[in-house]
Chain A
Amino acid sequence: MKYADEFRDKEIALGLARAIQAEANPKRPYRFMEFCGGHTHAISRYGLEDMLPQNVRMIHGPGCPVCVLPAGRIDMAIRLAERPEVILCVYGDLMRVPGSQGGSLLRAKARGADIRMVYSTIDAIRIAEENPGREVVFFAIGFETTTPPTAVMIRIAERKQLENFSVFCNHVLTPPAMLNILESPDIRNIGRVEIDGFVGPAHVSIIIGTAPYEFFSEEFGKPVVIAGFEPLDMMQAILMLVRQVNEHRHEVENQYRRAVSRDGNLRAKEEVSDIFELRDRFEWRGLGLVPYSGLKLKRTYAKYDAEVRFEMNELKIADNPACECGAILRGVKKPVDCKLFGTVCTPETPMGSCMVSSEGACAAHWTYGRFRDHQQRRAS
């Protein structure tokens, strides 16, 4: 497959693996957090852990928008979808995300709620045009990457004068979550693991550019390497991080130069800031309330804001107390350290955020990597 196979080449991968092996100082640990679920998935899907030396460890961050969506927001969506006039349009991976009391959009659909799986925002617009007598709501979710398409959709709805269309906005921001991981007060309760550097987001950075990460490298003295989602991108980024650590540098470096610039996509950023504004705080599953980490529609666009239009009440559902997602998302614990992992919490019946989508740390380990736990047990 052109433009994909080139970035999955085994020989180049082995070359990078040898370079990491040669350059990583065996006397010290290297703990790098990949923020994005896309990176977590690539690590597991291609088995990158097998290609890294023992002392280079990847910590899986909270960058999976489906995973970090709190149960309360799912319950809000279910209540909305249960209204007879509403057609709720969602991306497929949201369907199984657990709300409270074993509820999910999939179950709500089975009980009769009109929930449609869509592949793009354009599908939601089309459904609204085809069903003028119904209220069509798009369940908008995602980081900076998926926010511009939602903005464009609202522009289209405006232009087409669609009166039956609105958005349930759950867009969140990357930098506030990274900040939260590094300096949240919660971290004192659950301990903290030293992070030696970040693999920065791929698609998010296409939109926001590399500049927003300069704060992290300066303020916290952490190297950041923006990397693409292909496995070779990851390997090269890890090598770049190892070099920065060895040379006591903490800079923002851009491995993903074929797509990411310093300033990002100006047009997209402009569209987003025209239509959205910051929420004071937004709840993340596993991280709790994170200040200035979510977006909502500006008052000018309130008619497209489902929360306003349907007077939706904010619902708060506590995470399962035995769930270790908060600690796992911060790298303090590994999936296998959680009592729920693989027992009551599996991809079929996820309890915590990390098990929800294949990009979550627990689901990725369960689906692709759990054979290593047994190998290690046998070896020890």
Chain B
Amino acid sequence: MKAHQRKLDIKNGCVDLSHGSGGRAMSQLVSGLFHEAFGNEWLARGNDQSAFDVGAGRMVMTTDGYVVSPLFFPGGNIGSLAVHGTVNDIAMAGARPLYLSASFIIEEGFRFSDLKLIAESMGEAARDAGVHIITGDTKVVERGKADGLFISTAGVGVVPEGLDLSSEKARVGDRVLVSGTLGDHGVAIMSKRQNLAFETEIVSDSAALHDLVARMVAAAGSGIRLMRDPTRGGLAATMNEIAQQSDLGFRLQEEAIPVKPGVAAACELLGLDPLYVANEGKLVAVVAPEIAQSVLLAMRAHPLGRDAADIGEAVADDHHFVQMATSFGGGRIVDWLSGEQLPRIC
């Protein structure tokens, strides 16, 4: 006889310790909420792992953790962010993302309704990106041991034949392209922080970039040296990392760097520099000078690259300085971020 089980009360219910205990309650949460949201043939088989065919060529793998606070922010939530972030890490290799895993650490008392919203936006983000969440895990911890919900992910993708993007490949004379305005995600999060509420129309740029990347690769072939998504630490951290890894320096033009007026104003108010603020739907590409223009045009033809810009060039520099001509007419370095600018931004 099949045991009677009360349906999950999504509207009023919340997660309790039994939902992580391995019993019926957990099975109900997994199948009733996560499978429902992610729905695919792999999850439906209910194994401890999922098998998939490996195609020809090289594969890439990445992993990421999400602890953003608040969980819901203008332009997304921790669920969509987790998918976009993982997809983008794969895409920066020029790869096509295929499969993701998702592991949830949930605090006792977390509302089912919020969990459902988050799972649904994960499912939606995955479907939009053409990837499948094929394996996962659920743990519940006591109240106070996690701030609502943490998500960790892993992802795999496949790199097209002949493409080998890597951070040490920038060369002197290469151009630096960014796909759009900087600092949107960080400012959107900041605007919703409890002790810092201010009104802004800025929404997070959280988005999956693999399609934009595919267009760029199609336009440029192997002329793209490397791509990075400037998340925590912003453009500044990314450029300094590339400078170190490629053993050169960069010279940027502040005037060319796109920043939304609202983001610039919020940063001004908070004493932040948009170059250090996180992005979740932007990429930086270092490309051979002769193809810079055609890549830029391909980027601008894509909705996620509309505001793409050429912001500077790679130069010989033993000290790996990222220099910038300020829009005021002087010069400065764009150094590494020191200390913590904005905790728990992603």
Contacts and interface: CB of A to CB of B under 8 A. Distances in A.
A17 B335 contact: no
Interface residues on A, range: 20 to 34
A350 to B, nearest CB: 9
Interface in B264-290: 264-265, 268, 270
A348 B330 contact: no
A372 B321 CA distance: 11
Given A1-B268, A374-B319, A47 B335 contact: no
B319 A10 contact: no
- Give chain B's interface secondary structure class: mixed
Contacts of B24: none
B333 interface: yes
Nearest to B267: A1
B144 to A, nearest CB: 14
Contacts of A50: 329-331
Nearest to B265: A1
Contact of A371 (B270, B328, B333): B333
B329 A369 contact: no
B338 interface: yes
Given A1-B265, A347-B338, A44 B332 contact: yes
A46 B333 CA distance: 10
Given A1-B264, A1-B265, A1-B268, A96 B329 contact: no
Interface in A1-55: 1, 4, 8, 10, 13-14, 17, 44-51
B162 interface: no
A123 B195 CA distance: 7
Given A119-B196, A123-B195, A47 B329 contact: yes
B321 to A, nearest CB: 5
Contact of A13 (B261, B264, B268, B328): B328
Interface string A121-132: 001000000000
B264 to A, nearest CB: 5
B339 interface: yes
Nearest to A373: B319
Interface in A143-199: none
A119 B264 contact: no
A368 interface: yes
A97 to B, nearest CB: 11
Nearest to B255: A10
A14 B329 CA distance: 7
A368 B261 CA distance: 23
Nearest to A17: B329
B326 interface: yes
A10 B327 contact: yes
A91 to B, nearest CB: 10
B330 A8 contact: no
B328 A366 contact: no
Contacts of B326: 45-47
Nearest to B268: A4
A347 B329 contact: no
Interface in B5-30: none
Contacts of A262: none
Interface residues on B, range: 20 to 34
B330 A46 contact: yes
Q: Which of A8, A14, A50 counts the most B-chain CB atoms under 10 A from its CB?
A: A50
A231 interface: yes
B276 to A, nearest CB: 11
Nearest to A14: B329
B338 A8 contact: no
Contacts of A51: 329-330
A242 to B, nearest CB: 18
Contacts of A371: 319, 321, 323, 331, 333
- Give chain A's interface secondary structure class: helix
A76 to B, nearest CB: 22
A45 B328 CA distance: 10
B339 A347 contact: yes
B196 A366 contact: no
Nearest to A123: B195
Contact of A367 (B195, B270, B338): B338
A118 interface: yes
Q: Which of B268, B325, B332 counts the most A-chain CB atoms under 10 A from its CB?
A: B332
Contacts of B264: 1, 4
Contacts of A119: 195-196, 270
Contact of B328 (A46, A95, A118, A123): A46
A10 B329 contact: yes
Contacts of B196: 119
A333 interface: no
Given A1-B261, A1-B268, A371-B321, A47 B331 contact: yes
A370 interface: yes
B268 A47 contact: no
Contacts of B321: 370-371, 374
Nearest to B319: A374
Contacts of A346: 338
Contact of A368 (B195, B265, B335): B335
A63 to B, nearest CB: 16
A44 B335 CA distance: 12
B255 to A, nearest CB: 8
A369 B333 CA distance: 6
Nearest to A355: B338
B58 to A, nearest CB: 37
A231 B268 CA distance: 14
Contacts of A14: 329
Contacts of A367: 333, 335, 338
Contacts of A372: 331
Nearest to B325: A47
Nearest to B196: A119
A52 to B, nearest CB: 9
Contacts of B332: 44-47, 368-369
A1 B265 CA distance: 6
18 contacts: A1-B261, A1-B265, A1-B268, A4-B265, A4-B268, A10-B329, A14-B329, A45-B326, A46-B328, A47-B329, A47-B331, A50-B329, A50-B330, A51-B329, A51-B330, A368-B335, A370-B321, A371-B319
Given A1-B264, A368-B335, 14 more contacts: A46-B326, A46-B328, A47-B325, A47-B328, A50-B330, A118-B195, A231-B328, A346-B338, A347-B338, A348-B339, A368-B333, A369-B332, A370-B321, A371-B321
CB-CB nearest 3 A-B residue pairs: A47-B330, A347-B338, A368-B332
